[in-house]
Amino acid sequence: MAERFSEPVSQKGLNRFLTEYVWSPDELNDRRIEAHQEDPKMRWHAGGVVSLDDTLIEKSGKKIPGAGKFYDHSTGSFVHAQNIVTSHYADWQKHYPVAFRQYYKEGSKEAAEHGFRTKIQLAMELVDDAEGREFPGVYVADTWFFCKELVDHIEGCSKSGVMGAKSDPRELEIHGTPFIF
């Protein structure tokens, strides 16, 4: 962030900006996406995709909001982390994040404070966010997100998507064409 300022900025100044001043991360993100859409080289188009996924951000502190024990499929072990559900725009020339939602485990104090939502429900919120920004393309996700609830939600927006399907035949009953809808 400091590289974007014309005058040198100290770490202390950046920390003060992030922690002491009132500013809206949502408004900042809205302005960032609006700026991308105003730039012909950055705006999205019908040939682009918004990918939906989640990621773990490992943490060492025990008091970090939403951090807990999560299973990391890439390592096959449990890690102390935050779980973030993301939407990311990509086409053949560019890619950038669109939005994110933090997942809080059911029964956690954060879920009690913010309301518990599944990762599928958070992904649906991200679809609604992209649709509110008039995203013209297709949604993509891996097998973890392939479920009737999310597919129906995307189709309800008059959009289509591409998702991986598990080899379990019961999973294939979700939709007539399991990989592309």
**In b/e form, how buried is each residue of 31-46, taking b as 16+ CB within 10 angstroms?**
eebeebeeeeeebbee
Q: Which CATH class is domain 44-172?
A: alpha beta
Q: Residue 4's pLDDT is what? A: 60
* Residue spans per domain, the chain: 9-43, 44-172
**Among candidate residues 119, 120, 174, the one with its CA nearest the CA of residue 148:** 174
**Among candidate residues 37, 51, 42, 39, the one with its CA nearest the CA of residue 163:** 51
For the chain (181 residues), the mean pLDDT of every run of 10, in chain order, is 61 78 89 95 94 95 90 93 97 96 95 96 98 95 92 94 73 48 52
Token readout for 69 is 């024990």
pTM: 0.83
